[in-house]
Structure 1
Amino acid sequence: MFRPSSNPGVAAMATCGPDQPNVLPAVCKTLVEVRGGINGAPGSDYVAEEVPVAMVYNGVSHAVMMASPCALEDFGLGFSLTEGILDHPEQLFQWDVVAGEQGISLEMHIAGECFARLKKQRRNMAGRTGCGLCGTESLAHAIRATPRVPTRPAPADEAVQRALRNLSDHQPLQEQTGATHGAAWCDNQGRIQQAREDVGRHNALDKLIGARIRDHGARAFDDGFVLISSRASYEMVQKSAIVGVSSLIAVSAATALAIREARKAGMTLIGFARPGRHVIYARGDDQPSEEM
C-alpha cells in the first residue's frame, strides 16, 4: 500500500476535517531546521501531504492529479463533471478508492456514452502528441466554451466580507500546514455551508462541487456563492460555470481571460477579497458593456 510518509523523520497525522474522510494521512509532522534567530523555534513542523491520484474510468486511466488524500469521492465526481466527462452525476454508477504502491486510484464506472466520448477525446489527443498544443484544433480544445449561468443577484458586500472573515475556520489543513487551498459554498448571507481543501486550488474546487452535488443534487448552487482562497483563473471560472455557480469570489487576483469568460457567462466575479474591500470585475445581474 502506498505510504507517503515512509521517511523516518516524518510522522503521519490523519486529519481532513470532520466531514472529509481520508484514505491516507493528509498532514504529516516532519523534522526541520529553523534558521534566522527565532527564539524557541520547534525542531518539527506540520506539512501537507501530496499524493498522485489517478482518475480511472471503466478500467482506463485518464489523468493523474497531485492532490490531498481526503474527500476523494467528492473529487472524482467534481472532476468528472467540470472536465465534461459526465453530463450529470447520475452517469457515475459506481466508484472505488484504491490505494496502491504508487498512489491512489479512483476507479469509476461511468455510462457507456460518456466513456465512448472520452475514448474519442483520448484518440484525438494522442494524434497530436508530436507537436503538443500547436494547431487551431488544439487551441480550441484547450479553451472550451464557458456556458451561461442562471441570472442571480450579485452577493451583497456584507455577505462577501462575512464569508471572508470565517473562511479560516473551515480550513483545518491550512491552519496546520499553511500549504493548502480552500473552496467554500456560502449562502446569500455569507454563512459558509460547506468547504473542501486540497494542495491544488482546482482540486479544492472540484471537491467542493462534488460534495455539494452529492448532498444537494440539482439545487446545489441555487442560492449563494463560491469563495476560493486562491486567484481566479480561467479554469476556476469555467469549472464554476459548468455546474451553474453564478458568483465566484477569490481572495487573490483575477486573470483577464477569467474576467472575459465570466462576463460572457453572465457570472459575478469578485477578486482581491480582503478585510474591508473587494474588487468586482463582473456582475451577472448588471453586466458592463465595455469589452476588455
Structure 2
Amino acid sequence: MRLSTPDLDEAFDRADHARAQVVRVRAARIDATEQEDCLAEEVPIALEYNGISHATMLATPADLEDFALGFSLTEGIVDGVSDIRGMDLRHECAGIVVALEISSACAMRLRERRRAMAGRTGCGLCGVETLPEVLRPVPAVADGPAVPIGAVLQAMRDMRARQVLHDLTGATHAAGWADAQGRVALVREDVGRHNALDKLIGALARGGQDASAGMTLVSSRASFEMVQKTAMAGVGILAAVSAPTALAVRVALQTNLTLLGFLRDADAAIYTHPQRMLA
C-alpha cells in the first residue's frame, strides 16, 4: 500500500485525512486494480499549561482549540473559558504542542494536584497516576425539562448524516450536541471517542452555548469517562450508539444524568433517570 501525505507542516495545518492506494477484496476475490482510499490522520497532541507539559494523546489534527478547551474543562483544570488567557499551536517532533496560558489560580491548583500525585504508585489506568484521579467526584447535573424520546432518536440519525470524516475514512467517532427538539447544532469527529467529546464540549464553551439546554450524542459505547465529561459540561442527557459499562451507569446515577444506549433506528435502552424522557 502506498500512502500519499502532503508536506508535514501543511498536513498538520488542516488535513484530517490522507489518501492511500489499496487493493480490494470482494466476495473473497482479490481485485488486482489499485483503488484510492482515505485514512484518518492520527498524530501526537501534547497539552502544555503555563509551560509545563501535562498530557500527550493521539488525536486527529483538526479543531485542536476546541479539543484543548474541552479537555481543560472536563478534566477540571479550568473552571471556565475566562480561565484560558492564551493558546498557541506549534509543531514539534512530528506532533503538535498546544500551549495554554491559564489563570494563576488554576495553574496553582494544577501544580498542587500534580504534587499530590508525586511519589504515589501508579494504577496504570490510561496514564492517570492514582485511582482518586480516575474516579474523581463530579457535580450532579441540574434537572431539566423532559425531552421526547423521538427527538433523541432523530438527533442521533441526523448526527450520523453529518459524520463527514467517518464517511471518508470509516475510522472516526463523532460527538454531537442537539437541543431539546432534537436539532443537531454541533458535531465534532476524532479517531478517539473521548477526544471527539472534548472537542464538542470545547466548541460549545467557545460559542457560549448553554450546553445544559440539550443533549450529547456519541457514536460509540458509553464508558464512565464519557459520562464524567458530559456531566462536567452540565449536560443532563447522554445518548450512545452502543452499550454503557456498569461503572458508566453507576456514575450516571450519581450525577443525575440520563444515560441511553443502543440507539438504533427507532430503538434505545434507557439506563438511568428515565423521567427526563417523554413517550
TM-score by length of 1: 0.85
Are the equivalent residues in 1 in contact too, given 2:259–2:272 (CA < 8 A)? yes
* Structure 1 match to 2:54: 62
Secondary structure of 2:44's match?
strand
Structure 1 position 285, deviation (Å): 3.9
- Aligned twin of 1:262: 252
Aligned to 2:268: 278
TM-aligned CA deviation for residue 25 of structure 1: 1.4
Tell me by how many angstroms 1:228 deviates: 0.4
Measure the CA separation in 1 of the matches of 2:66 and 2:274: 27
Aligned partner of residue 144 in structure 1, secondary structure: coil
Of residues 173, 176, 179, the one that matches 2:168 is 176
**Among candidates 76, 88, 102, match of residue 94 of structure 2:** 102
Q: Give the 3-state SS of the residue equivalent to 1:63 in structure 2.
A: strand
CA–CA separation in structure 1 for the residues paired with 2:44 and 2:210: 28
Structure 2 match to 1:120:
112
In the TM superposition, residue 51 of structure 1 has moved relative to its aligned partner by 0.4
Structure 2 vs 1, CA of residues 284 and 221 (structure 1 numbering), >3 Å: closer, same or farther? farther
Deviation at 1:283, TM superposition (A): 1.7
Compare 67-76 and 30-39 and name the one that shifted more: 30-39
Report the Cα distance in structure 1 between the residues aligned to 2:139 and 2:230, rounded to whole angstroms.
10
Q: How far 1:165 moved relative to its partner?
A: 1.7
CA deviation vs aligned residue, 1:38-85 (integer Å, no higher than 9, x gap): 658743321100000000011111000100000000001000000010
C-alpha RMSD of matched pairs (Å) = 2.3
Which residue does 2:4 correspond to in 1? 11
Which SS does the other structure have where 2:86 is aligned?
A: strand
Q: Determine the structure 2 residue equivalent to 1:156.
A: 148
**Correspondent of 1:47 among 17, 30, 39:** 39
Identical-residue share of aligned pairs (%):
45
- Whole-angstrom CA distance in 1 between matches of 2:269 and 2:187: 23
* Contact 2:144/2:276 (8 A) holds in 1: no
Among 44, 54, 65, the alignment partner of 1:73 is: 65
Deviation at 1:123, TM superposition (A): 2.3
The residue number in structure 1 matching 2:237 is: 247
Compared with structure 1, are the counterparts of its residues 38 and 187 closer, same or farther at alpha carbon in structure 2 (3 Å cutoff)?
A: farther
More strand as a share of residues: 2
Asked whether the 8 Å contact 1:98–1:106 carries over to 2, the reply is yes
Is the 1:152–1:285 contact (alpha carbons within 8 Å) kept by the matching residues of 2? no
State the alpha-carbon separation in 2 of the partners of residues 42 and 271 from structure 1.
Answer: 39
Q: Deviations over 1:214-256 (max 9, x none)?
A: 112xx52132101100111110001111120010000010111
**1:141-174 alpha-carbon deviations (Å, 9 max, x no partner):** 3211121101013431210121122122211110
Q: Is the 8 A contact 1:246 1:268 kept in 2?
A: yes
Equivalent residue number for residue 5 of structure 1: none
Contact 1:146 1:242 in 2 (8 A): yes
Residue-by-residue CA offset, 1:66-122 (whole Å, 9 max, x unaligned): 000000000010000000100111100100111223300101000111111111222
- TM-aligned CA deviation for residue 31 of structure 1: 2.3
TM-score computed with the length of structure 2 as normaliser: 0.89
Aligned-partner SS, 2:69: helix
Q: Residues of 2 paired with 1:67 and 1:109: CA distance? A: 21
Question: Matched residues in 2 for 1:29 and 1:256: separation?
Answer: 39
Secondary structure of residue in 2 paired with 1:226 = strand
d(CA) in 1 for partners of 2:117, 2:274: 34
Distance in 2 of aligned mates of 1:164 and 1:41: 37
Unaligned runs of 5+ in 2: none
Q: How many positions carry a matched residue from both structures?
A: 268
Q: Using the alignment, how far apart are the partners of 1:286 and 1:189 within structure 2?
A: 13
Whole-Å separation in 1 of the counterparts to 2:236 and 2:192: 22
**Matched residue, 1:85:** 77
Q: Which runs of 5+ in 1 are unaligned?
A: 1-7, 15-21, 288-292
State whether residues 154 and 268 of structure 1, in contact with CA within 8 Å, keep that contact through their aligned partners in structure 2: no
